[in-house]
Structure 1
Amino acid sequence: MDKLDKIGRDGVEKELVKAGFGREILKKVEGQKQTPRLKEIFLALEYFGLDKNSFRFDPLLARGLDYYTGMIYEIFIPGESGSISGGGRYDKLIGVPAVGGSFGLDRLTAAVPEKTFENIPFQPQVLVTIFAPDLIQSSLTVFSLLQAQGIETEIYLDPAAKLDKQLKYADRKGISYAVILGPQEIKEGEVILRDLRNRTQQSIDMKMLSRALATT
């Protein structure tokens, strides 16, 4: 399937027939739709500020290794030939469900302009928590808004983790503030801003959050 760009549709169909498959299998693969989970991932990428034209679903994408058991991905740099990174889901390789990937160092270094990059340490000021898995989109919205305002912000990556675990994580990392959005806060257009240094908290209008953080 991944040879479609190289040998064309007719060439792929001939190879499929030669391998014992019918020509209709190509149409079947091309007709595959995005899963609900993949749609959630794409939505999250948009919330993180990525241009929706920079990623897409490709049912014909294939990797050269046979240990993948689920979704696979490849990363490209516009104007460069070949992928610079790729990977996917593999449940049986190490006996534990996992997602991993690798990158091509030669291709990556060749694509990066020769320049000196400053080593700027990242110390988030705020942790946006996830109250429940079904509220992740609201947390992503707040995360994106704070990032856009230049406030160094991190979002907790496990939506199933209990709130107490998320707050302890923020403490360990020396993060000063945590933003909490429960169902009631979302309904009222507010967030709870918890000061992790002095153990106080207050309810703030969501539109005033960045201003409140800027004055602390």
Structure 2
Amino acid sequence: YLGKETVQNVFITRFSNGIFEPLWNRNYIHHVEITSAESIGIEKRGGYYDSSGALRDMVQNHLLQVTGLVAMEPPSSLQADAIRYEILKVFQSLRPLKKEEIKHCAIRGQYLESTIKNEKVTAYRDEEDVPPDSVTETYAALKFYIDNWRWGGVPFYVRTGKRLPTRVTEVVIHFRQTPHFLFSEKCVTPGNQLIIRIQPDEGILIKF
């Protein structure tokens, strides 16, 4: 997954632009969102998908890899071992969830029968090769923290799912608001955002 050119754009954006790296820390970033949403269902992969679910299919592999690219320290070189070493340090800094935190920091769900773009779509449990009592998730969302000097106190939100309103994979960096508002409350706007679109229509957008 890290070999995809669009995913590598996350790495390039960070380390080839001098304007971003000085801001890439807890002092300027309020929170980070990493999303992989699909508008399609499981597409006749019921046998495979029901044994894995959204967490294993996307989160623990692809989205955590993207998290590593977003959160890693600058590597000593572009050698694969140097990059893996820095990503591993990120994973070692992930704060374990306590049992009482799970209900506030993790969500699982399944898509139901509905109509999308005037087309009727079936519920997950009615898909081919899916047990009618399946509890496998087709949507998963996590909130977690990386306990290190760069990211201490900054929440990361990772989510993925099938049959969602739009198809998009992106990283959104939400920057903090200014510490003091000079203008009226009616003029207050959300903090700036850096959006790194992985698919479709890959690109980089800064929202003010």
**Normalized against structure 2, the TM-score is what?**
0.22
Higher relative contact order (CA 8 A, sep 6+): 2
Q: Normalized against structure 1, the TM-score is what?
A: 0.21
Structure 1 or 2, whichever has the larger Rg, is 1
**Comparing both structures, which one devotes a greater share of its residues to helix?**
1
